[in-house]
Amino acid sequence: MKVCATIPEARAACCDARTSRKRLGLVPTMGALHEGHLSLVRAAKVQCDAVAVSIFVNPTQFGPAEDLSKYPRQFDRDCRLLEKEGVEILFAPAVEEIYPGGAVTWVVVEGLSEKLDGRSRPGHFRGVTTIVSKLFHIIEPDDAFFGQKDAAQLAVIRRMVRDLNFPVEIVACPIVREPDGLAMSSRNAYLNREERSRALVLQRALQKARQQFDAGERIAAKLISAAKEVIAGEPQVALDYFEIVDPDMLDPVERISQKTLVGVAAYVGTTRLIDNLVLEP
Ligand code: AMP
């Protein structure tokens, strides 16, 4: 695996990979890798001839009161995991390499960026779309792999790719869960034992909505109130949102008549966790 810390190194390695092989896949991450990230890498290995992974804890997508400084960083371990998966290129730049100072240009997907997580985390998606644009320009992948776990992020990125004509195919990969159902996340490392077990309430709330849907309920408000009751039953878990939305526009739907995204975000102690599922009538 070629480890690149600078943009010219990464460009050269990716250019080589594209010419000597054919399809180049990109898996953007913030590191502290788990099976969720590795599932994206494996999907990329299947679909592409060479795979580049980026590890960059992107400061511009963190709010001032968020967890940028304590975000888990495990670079050596991440390298070993990626080597084992047969990744060809790792791009792991320093903050100054990506944001050398003086930059005043942002990529903003208007409207969508203020929905779901964007509403609770102002500026978050502006940071995401800006770094993903930079990575697309540096790596020039044919395919880029993202997790369904971050469903709003996926909608925002798809829209950006469409609106700005990026020549890249966005591939969505299913949510990878712990055996007890908790969606894998680098932030799960923040949870103490008690919080870890309380965190399962997100999954229970989603399952409650699914059960009602399976029993024939199609009114979104009914599913939402049943799910919110489940969350309310768990002390020390503070709901951020539980929403039922169109998966592309992220606007709330009243009746579930087509493919619909059910998303939840909640604070377990001070840790903000998200999860979702898709309902298809
Ligand atoms: P992150 O390192 O949190 O920025 O995540 C990098 C990529 O991994 C994003 O596309 C996430 O959606 C994806 N990802 C994170 N957790 C999971 C998971 N449990 N299952 C599938 N994909 C995931």
Q: Is 34 a catalytic residue?
A: no
Tell me the pLDDT tens digit for each residue of 65-104.
999 999 999 999 999 999 999 999 999 999 999 999 989 9
**Nearest to 44, CA basis, from 212, 169, 157:** 169
pLDDT for residue 21: 76
pLDDT at 207: 98
Residue pLDDT, tens place only, 102-130: 899 999 999 999 999 999 999 999 999 99
Pocket test for ligand 1, best of 27, 33, 40 (most atoms within 8 A of CB): 40
β-pairing, 143-147 with 24-29?
parallel
- pLDDT level of residue 210 (50, 70, 90 thresholds): very high
- Rounded CA separation 132/129 (Å): 5
- pTM here? 0.98
Residue 22 pLDDT: 84
> Ligand 1 centroid to 150 CA: how many Å?
7
Q: Whose CA is nearest to atom 6 of ligand 1?
A: 29
Per CATH, which fold does 186-275 belong to? Answer: Pantoate--beta-alanine Ligase; Chain: A,domain 2 (3.30.1300)
At 90, list the tokens: 């790792």
Domain boundaries, the chain: 2-173, 186-275
1: Cβ–Cβ under 8 A, 6 or more apart, which residues? 79, 82, 83, 87, 88, 89, 90
237-245 β-sheet, strand order = 237-245, 260-268, 271-279
| Burial grade of 202 (CB within 10 A; 0-12, 13-18, 19 or more) | buried
- Give residue 43 CA to ligand 1 midpoint distance, Å: 13
Q: Tell me how far the alpha carbon of residue 23 lies from the centroid of ligand 1, in angstroms.
A: 22
Mutate which of 150, 187, 261 for ligand 1? The one with the most ligand atoms within 8 Å of its CB, which is 150
Which helix (H) or strand (E) segment is 232 a member of?
A: helix 220-232
pLDDT score of 216: 98
- 271-279/260-268 β-pairing: antiparallel
Distance CA 134, CA 107 (A): 10
Average pLDDT, rounded, for the chain:
97
| pLDDT score recorded for residue 53 | 98
Return the CATH fold of 2-173: Rossmann fold (3.40.50)
**Atom nearest to 174 CA in ligand 1:** 21
Cβ neighbour number for residue 4 with a 10 Å cutoff: 23
- Give the closest residue (by CA) to ligand 1 atom 22: 147
The mean-pLDDT minimum among 9-13, 99-103, 224-228 falls in 99-103
DSSP code for 121: S
Which residues' Cβ are closer than 6 Å to ligand 1? 29-30, 36-37, 39-40, 146-147, 149-150, 173, 175-176, 183-186
Strands (DSSP E) found in the chain? 2-4, 24-29, 50-55, 89-91, 143-147, 169-173, 237-245, 260-268, 271-279
Phi and psi based region of residue 24 (left: phi greater than 0; alpha: psi -120 to 50; beta: remaining): beta
CA of 37 to the centre of ligand 1 (A): 5
Distance 235 CA to ligand 1 centre (A): 27
Tell me which of 26, 37, 261, 275 to substitute to probe ligand 1's pocket, judged by most ligand atoms within 8 Å of the beta carbon.
Answer: 37
Strand partners, 55: 29
Mean pLDDT of 262-281: 98
Question: 264: which strand partners?
Answer: 242, 275
